[in-house]
Amino acid sequence: ISEATTRLRDWLIAEMSAKRYKAEINEETLIHRLHLEKHLKSRKKDRLQQQLTKAIQVSQHLGIILDVEEQQGVMGQKKYVFKLNKDFD
């Protein structure tokens, strides 16, 4: 399991413990939160996207994320909206 996957899982569980079951985050903020800046700096955007996708898929398989949407934010940036499982143990 990658560090990015673990960090995403921990952040989502923290959101659920704060009784927030819909988490919205800009892609750039998510990249920093998961410590994936090294891929961005080295211009490996395909590797970066692969790491993000894998981290999200693992959290979905664990049952933390029920649904994920990619939307456009107010400033035109890409953002992710995660619907979290209230019944996750």
User: For residue 41, is pLDDT > 90?
Assistant: no
Which of 10-14, 27-31, 44-48, 84-88 shows the lowest per-residue confidence on average (mean pLDDT)? 44-48
pLDDT mean over 26-55:
88
User: For residue 77, is pLDDT > 90?
Assistant: yes
Question: Is 66 in contact with 81 (CB distance < 8 Å)?
Answer: no
Instruction: Map tokens 């211009």 to a residue.
Output: 43
pTM above 0.75, yes or no: yes
**Residue spans of alpha helices (H) in the chain:** 3-17, 27-33, 37-41, 45-62
User: For residue 39, is pLDDT > 90?
Assistant: no
